[in-house]
Amino acid sequence: MQINDVTAAIVDSAYQIHTEIGPGLFESVYELVLADMLASRGFSVQRQVAIPIRIGEKVYDEGFRADLIVDHRVIVEIKSIERLARVHKKQMLTYLKLSGLPVGLLINFGGDLLKGNIERLVIPGAQNLKK
């Protein structure tokens, strides 16, 4: 399956969830439901995955946690806020850079509509881009 097919399935699942339960729930609820829906569609889904920080010779595992990693190549960061800010995109780009994964989806379930609340971010040349 191509990476665009994976991200399309994630977005489709997010739309289904937002349509059915709407905004206003905690991020952890959307994370749980989205992970379950994607797993039921046959995807490998990991929740709350540590993203280590490497500085020199040292590795720190406590730095960041990705909400979801889908199919071992897409990071999904879930928000449930009124509006995404630039700092959220920077957060996702940092996750992608540190993890070496090629694509991230920033999904904000907090808006009245999901349209305009999904950002797809890509790191060109990341290690897993061709998988």
| CATH, domain range 3-122 | 3.40.1350
Q: Note if the pTM is more than 0.85.
A: yes
Q: Are 89 and 77 spatial neighbours (Cβ–Cβ below 8 Å)?
A: no
Q: What does the alpha-carbon distance between residue 6 and residue 61 come to, in Å, rounded to a whole number? A: 27
**pLDDT < 70 stretches in the chain:** 125-131
- 10, burial (CB in 10 Å: exposed 0-12, middle 13-18, buried 19+): buried
Q: Please state the domain extents for the chain.
A: 3-122
- 23, burial (CB in 10 Å: exposed 0-12, middle 13-18, buried 19+): middle
**Tens of pLDDT along 84-96?**
899 999 999 999 9
